[in-house]
Amino acid sequence: MANLATFEEGTRQLLMGNEAIARGALEAGIGFAAAYPGNPSSEIIGSLADVARDAGIYVEWSVNEKVALEAAAAAAFSGVRSLVAMKHNGLNVVLDYLMGLALTGTKAGIVLVTCDDPGALSSTEEEDSRIVAKWANLPLLEPGTFQEEKDMTRWAYELSEEMKSVVLIRGVTRTSHARGDVEIGERLPPARDARFAPSNPVEFTSVPAPFKHMLANRKMERVREIFESSPFNRYEGPVKPDLLIVTSGSGWFYALEAVRALELEKSVGILKLATTWPLPEKLVREHLSRAAEVLVVEEIDPFLEGNLKELVGEDPAGVGPVRFYGKRSGHIPAFGEINPDIVTAALARILGIEYRAVEPDYSQKALALTSPFTHGRIVGFCAGCPHRATFWSIKNALKLDGRDGFVSGDIGCYSMAVGPAGYFQVKTMQAMGSGTGMACGFGKLAEFGFTQPVLTVCGDSTFYHATIPAIISGIYNRADFTLLILDNSATAMTGFQPHPGTGRSATGENTPTVDIAMICRALGVRVEETDPFDLQGTTEKVLDLMRDKGVRVLIVKRECALVRARKEKPAFKMRVDSERCLGESCGCSRLCVRVFQCPALTWDVSQGVAGIDEVLCAGCGVCADICPAGAIIREPAE
Amino acid sequence: MMEKEPLNIIITGVGGQGNVLLSQLVGKVLVRGGFHVTIGETYGASQRGGAVMSHLRVSRQMQYGPLIGEGQADVIVGLEPIETLRVLAQYGNADVTVITNSRPVFPAAVSSGGAKYPTADEIASAMAGLSARSWVVDATDIALELGPPILANVVMMGTLVGSGILPVGAEAFETELRESLPAGRDGSSADRLAMNLEAFRRGMAAVAP
C-alpha cells in the first residue's frame, strides 16, 4: 500500500496533522529528521521513521530534544534540509541551543515544529510556545488547516533558506492529533552533496553577538515584508465588519463555525493569520482600521492579542479606536483549550445575541437519565503494567521502613503514581529527570535536621534523556538517595518508540545497546536489579537500599505490558476461587479492587466476591500475591 | 443519503478498544468517496482505561474543524455503554441516532464495588429517551465468537454502515478492509480478512430493519 513517501501527487489522502507536516517536509526534500518523542508531536518524526527507506532520508530518535536540534542543525549547516519536532516541554529543553542558533542562522532550510497541548490532554503542564519566536527573533507559522500544515511546512524551507533562519511552526493537539483530507504535492529529492564549508571563520557561530543580533533584527523586517503577501493569511467577511475576529491555528475552524452558527456572515469578518511573528503589520493595520470591535481567538496565551495591541499602540491615529475582546477581557478563557462552543458563546455575549446550542428540556432529561451512571474514568496503569507492581512494593517498603520516606519523580507513565494508580507514592513531578535532581537536594539536608529516606524514580528513556547528569552530581556531592530506574524497555508514554537501551534505531536497524546497569556501575555506585513482579524480593531490596548511604541504584526491569502483549501470550490464566474469597467479611476491605486497582479485577456486587475480566487481564499473575486470603489463583496459560 | 451538512459522527469508547482505528477506517472510506473528512481525536495520555472519543465531520463542500459542538451530533457509536451515555448527554439531541456495544468496561468506581453499573434496561431506556433511533448490540460477544474481543470495533463499524446514515455503502467498506488487511504469504492474514469481513457483516445485520 502507498505510504507517506510514496503517495501519488494529486491524490487526496486522509492524513493526521502530524503526518501532513511530515509530508510537507518530504515534499521540501528534507534529508534529515530528528526528535525526542513527546505528545502531541510524536507522529511527525515517527511517521517519517516508518517511511525513511522509501523516502531515502535519515531519521533518528535522539537522546533528548536539544541533541535532536543540534544534530538537525549540523545537517542544515552542511546543506541538507532538516526537520526537528517536539512538544512544548521539549522546546524548553532546546532553548539554550536555540537562542544561539537563532543568532547563527543556517545554510540549508531547518524547521522546528513545536506542538502545544492546550488543556494538557497528554501533558503535565500547558504552555504557549509562540513567545519563543518573538524572544529569539524567529519567523513563526501557525497552520490552520490540514492542507496548510503540509503546504506551509514545505514553504517554511524556502523561507528558512531565503532568510538563513530557523523557522518555527506551532501546532496544537487539535491540529496535530486530528485527521483531514490533504491533496498530495510533488516531492523534491534530498540534497546529496552535503559538505560543511564555512565561508568565514564565524559563519556558524553566534559571535560577534551584538552584530549578529542586529542582523537578526534586520532579517525579521524582511520576513515581515514576505508575510505581508502570504496567501496563507486571508480574510473572510464583509468589507467593513461590525466585528472582526482575528485568529490563528486551530481558532480558524472554531471562529468559522461560530459565525455560521449565529448566522453572522454578513456582519462579522474573520482575519485568519498563519504568519503570526513577525506580524504582517500593513495587512493587520488595514483590517483593524475597518472595525471598531475585535475578538481575538487563539489557544493558550494572549500572544496574538498582545501583539495586535502593540501595533495599535504604535499608530493609534492610523488604526482608529478599537475595542479588543479576548483572553484579557475574559471572553475567551486564558487557560485550558478552546472549542467551537466557547467561541460561539463569546461572540454571542459580545453582540448581545441569545444562543442555545442545546434545548434546555433535552439537557435536563439527559442529565436525569445519564448522570447516575456516568462515573468518571481515572487514567491508570494498564492491566499487567510493571509500574503497578513496583509502586506496590515501594509503598510497602516505605511503610516497613517507618521513617517517613518518600518518592520524588518526573515525567513518564509512572507520573500517574501521583494519583491512586500508584498509590499516591510520587510526591514531586515537574520535568524530565527532575526527580533525581531533586533527590540531590533532599539528600543533602541532613545537617538541617532532615531524617527521611529519599527515593526517586525515573524511566529508562528518561534515564538517558536527563537523569545521568543528576546522578553524577549526586555522587560528586555525596548526596544520600536511592534511584529506582523503572526499565520497561520502551518510551511507553509516547507510543513505544525505541531508545538507546533497546538495541533498535528509529528506522528498525540494530544498534549498540547502551546498558543502564553498566553505566551506573561505571559511575561507581551500588547497583541492584529486581523483577517488579517479584513483590517480596523488590520490597526487600528497596528496604535494604534505603538503609545504605550515598547514591544507590535499583534497576526495576520488566517490559511494558502493551509491548509484551504484541509478542507473547499471557504467562498465566487468572481466576478467583469464590470459595476462598471471603468478600466483605475478609477484613481486607476489597484490597484487590479498591487499592491494588488493576483494571482487570472486578467486584461482583451480587455475590460479594472478586472476579477477573478475561478480556482485560494480561495474565501477569501479580494479583495472586496481594490477596490475603490466597483466593486469586495463578494457573499456567495453555 | 446525507442531507445534513456537515454530517457529525462521534465514535467513543475506552482506551484499548480500537476507537481510533475505527474512526480512521471510516474516515478513509469517506475520503475515497470524495468527501471532505475531518477527525478530531481525544485520547489524552496513551494508556488504556481512559475515555476516548473521535469526532468525524463529513462534508461535500468544505473541511470542518476537529471538534463537534455540544448537542450537534448526528450519529453516536459507542464501544462501551457508559461512554455512549456520557457522549449522548453532551452531544446528543432529539434527532440523533445512537448505537452502542453492550459490553461494559467497568470504571474504577464500579469495579471497586463502590458504585453501580447501569442495567441493560437502564442503558436502553436512557438511549431511547434521548435519541430518534437507538440500538444496543452485543458486539463483543459477536467478536468473541469470531476471534479476539478487539474485533468489536469492526462489528460496530458494521452497525454504523447498517444504520444507513452514511453517504457511502457497505461495498466501499469491504473494499477498504480488503486493502488494509491484504492476504499475506501465510494463510493467517487471509483468515484475518475473513474474520473482519464476517464481523462487519454481523454488525450490519444487527441493525437491519
Summarised one tens digit per residue, pLDDT across range A428-460 is 999 999 999 999 999 999 999 999 999 999 999
Count how many pairs of residues, chain A against chain B, have C-beta atoms within 8 Å. Answer: 202
Give A284→chain B minimum CA distance, Å. Answer: 24
537501551: which residue's cell?
A: A501
Which of A278-292, A481-495, B53-67 is predicted with the least confidence, judged by mean pLDDT?
A481-495
Verify whether the Cβ–Cβ distance A372 to B16 is below 8 Å.
Answer: no
Residue A37 vs residues A40, A385, A535: alpha-carbon distances, Å: 9, 21, 31
Q: What is the pLDDT of residue A357?
A: 86
Show residues of chain A in contact with B130, CB under 8 Å.
Answer: 362, 365-366, 369-370
Report pLDDT digits (tens) over A183-234: 999 999 999 999 999 999 999 999 999 999 999 999 999 999 999 999 999 9
Give one DSSP letter per residue of chain B, joined into a string: ---SSSEEEEEEEETTSSHHHHHHHHHHHHHHTT-EEEEEEE--SSSTTSEEEEEEEEESS----S-PPTT--SEEEESSHHHHHHHHHHH--TT-EEEEE------HHHHTTSSPPPPHHHHHHHHHHT-SEEEEE-HHHHHHHHS-GGGHHHHHHHHHHHTT-SSS-HHHHHHHHHHHS---SSSHHHHHHHHHHHHHHHHHHHT--
Report pLDDT digits (tens) over A125-173: 999 999 999 999 999 999 999 999 999 999 999 999 999 999 999 999 9
Verify whether the Cβ–Cβ distance A181 to B94 is below 8 Å.
Answer: no
Give A167→chain B minimum CA distance, Å. Answer: 26
CA-nearest of A12, A65, A58, A7 to A36 is: A65
Q: What is the pLDDT of residue B15?
A: 86
* Cell numbers describing residue B197: 469481513
Report pLDDT digits (tens) over B96-116: 999 999 999 888 888 888 889
Find the CB nearest A369 among B68, B93, B129.
Answer: B129
Beta carbons of B44 and B50 less than 8 angstroms apart: yes
| A260 contacts chain B (CB < 8 A) | no
| A438 contacts chain B (CB < 8 A) | no
Find the CB nearest B93 among A145, A341, A358.
Answer: A358
503494567: which residue's cell?
A: A385
Show residues of chain B in contact with A606, CB under 8 Å.
Answer: none
Find the CB nearest B70 among A179, A358, A601.
Answer: A358
Separation CA A201–CA A596 (nearest Å): 62
ipTM over 0.90: yes
Q: How many other CB atoms are found less than 10 A from the CB of residue A105?
A: 21
Separation CA B195–CA B146 (nearest Å): 6
Q: Is A275 helix (H, G, I), strand (E, B) or coil?
A: strand
Find the CB nearest B126 among A358, A369, A420.
Answer: A369
Which one is predicted more confidently, A413 or A438? A438
Q: What is the pLDDT of residue A147?
A: 98
Show residues of chain A in contact with B182, CB under 8 Å.
Answer: 1
Q: What is the pLDDT of residue B2?
A: 53
Give the residue from B19, B35, B42, B48 with the most A CB atoms within 10 Å of its CB, the best one to mutate. Answer: B48
State the average pLDDT for chain A. 96
Looking at the predicted structure, is the pLDDT value of residue A605 above 50?
Answer: yes
Beta carbons of A383 and A599 less than 8 angstroms apart: yes
Show residues of chain B in contact with A181, CB under 8 Å.
Answer: 31, 35-37, 63
Show residues of chain B in contact with A122, CB under 8 Å.
Answer: 43-46
Verify whether the Cβ–Cβ distance A340 to B65 is below 8 Å.
Answer: yes
Q: What is the pLDDT of residue A493?
A: 77
DSSP conformation class of A382: P
Beta carbons of A411 and A462 less than 8 angstroms apart: yes
Beta carbons of A521 and A510 less than 8 angstroms apart: no
Domains of chain A, earliest start first: 12-228 (3.40.50.970), 234-351 (3.40.50.920), 386-566 (3.40.50.970), 569-636 (3.30.70.20)
Which of A26-40, A46-60, A366-380, B143-157 is predicted with the least confidence, judged by mean pLDDT?
A366-380
In CATH, what class is B7-206?
alpha beta
Report pLDDT digits (tens) over B37-84: 999 998 765 456 788 999 999 999 999 999 999 999 999 999 999 999
Looking at the predicted structure, is the pLDDT value of residue A386 above 70?
Answer: yes
Q: What is the pLDDT of residue B49?
A: 73
Verify whether the Cβ–Cβ distance A180 to B38 is below 8 Å.
Answer: yes
| A365 contacts chain B (CB < 8 A) | yes
* Cell numbers describing residue A611: 472476579
Give the residue from A115, A363, A370, A413 with the most B CB atoms within 10 Å of its CB, the best one to mutate. Answer: A370
Give B205→chain A minimum CA distance, Å. Answer: 24
Q: What is the pLDDT of residue B45?
A: 56
Q: Over range A93-110, report the average pLDDT.
A: 98
- Work out the pLDDT band at A378, boundaries 50, 70, 90: confident
- Work out the pLDDT band at A122, boundaries 50, 70, 90: confident
Beta carbons of B51 and B83 less than 8 angstroms apart: yes
Q: What is the pLDDT of residue A495?
A: 81
Q: What is the pLDDT of residue B189?
A: 66
Give one DSSP letter per residue of A495-558, joined into a string: T-B--TTTTB-TTS-B-----HHHHHHHTT-EEEEE-TT-HHHHHHHHHHHHTS-SEEEEEEE-
Which helix H or strand E contains A13, and what residues bound it? strand A12-16
Verify whether the Cβ–Cβ distance B65 to A380 is below 8 Å.
Answer: no
A461 contacts: CB under 8 Å, gap ≥ 6: A412, A490, A491, A497, A499, A501
Q: What is the pLDDT of residue B10?
A: 98
- Work out the pLDDT band at B183, boundaries 50, 70, 90: low
Find the CB nearest B37 among A121, A177, A180.
Answer: A180
Verify whether the Cβ–Cβ distance A340 to B69 is below 8 Å.
Answer: yes
Separation CA A45–CA A364 (nearest Å): 46
Show residues of chain B in contact with A596, CB under 8 Å.
Answer: none
| A344 contacts chain B (CB < 8 A) | yes
Verify whether the Cβ–Cβ distance B71 to A179 is below 8 Å.
Answer: no
CA-nearest of A62, A3, A141 to A466 is: A62
Beta carbons of A201 and A24 less than 8 angstroms apart: no
Give A336→chain B minimum CA distance, Å. Answer: 14
Percent of chain A with pLDDT over 70: 100
Q: What is the pLDDT of residue B4?
A: 84
Kindly report the pTM of this predicted structure: 0.96
Closest A-chain CA to B122: A369
Based on the number of CB atoms within 10 Å of its own CB, is A326 exposed (0-12), middle (13-18) or buried (19 or more)?
A: buried
Q: Is A397 helix (H, G, I), strand (E, B) or coil?
A: helix
Closest A-chain CA to B54: A178
Beta carbons of A485 and A463 less than 8 angstroms apart: yes
Looking at the predicted structure, is the pLDDT value of residue A181 above 80?
Answer: yes
Chain A residues 111-170 with a CB less than 8 Å from chain B: 121-122, 145-147
CA-nearest of A11, A88, A6 to A47 is: A6
Closest A-chain CA to B41: A178
Looking at the predicted structure, is the pLDDT value of residue B1 above 60?
Answer: no
Closest B-chain CA to A383: B48
Verify whether the Cβ–Cβ distance A605 to B69 is below 8 Å.
Answer: no
Verify whether the Cβ–Cβ distance B46 to A494 is below 8 Å.
Answer: yes
Q: What is the pLDDT of residue A494?
A: 81
Looking at the predicted structure, is the pLDDT value of residue A614 above 90?
Answer: no
